[in-house]
Amino acid sequence: VDGRNYIRWMNDNRYAFADAPVGRRGEVLVPRRSCAISSRNKFLRQHALLKIKSQTVNEETGSDEWFVCDTGAGVHPLQIDLYWGEDEPRGAIGRQRARPRGTWMEYAFEVEVIAKR
């Protein structure tokens, strides 16, 4: 609508159109730098800067520093959801619709995470 291609959650069951993908508090999401955590995570918080020590993640994304821009109940408490950016879906059926075509990485286990702030 009017050049705004994204939907943003505003609070209290309200939504608005946005110019770019944004996090929970309106921060513009940066591909391969922004991430989301569970609202039930006991160790990490919104706006934390994370260093993710994982060869798999680093080789696939080119980044080991991530900024927590979003939280949600749909993310597992031990999961960090990395924002890949705009990409075509890997496929048209099932889980492939939610996976970006540009990567085959789905999970990285036994990852060391350091909260820098």
Which pLDDT value is given to residue 95? 72
Average pLDDT along the chain, 117 residues, taken 10 residues at a time: 82 87 88 93 93 91 93 88 81 75 74 88
In sequence order, the β-bridge partners of residue 89 are 100
Which pLDDT value is given to residue 113? 93
Distance CA 44, CA 88 (A): 30
CB 69 within 8 A of CB 35: yes
Which pLDDT value is given to residue 3? 80
Residues 6+ apart with CB under 8 A from 113: 44, 50, 51, 52, 53, 80
What pTM was computed for the model?
A: 0.80
Which pLDDT value is given to residue 114? 93
Element containing residue 55 per DSSP (H, E): helix 55-61
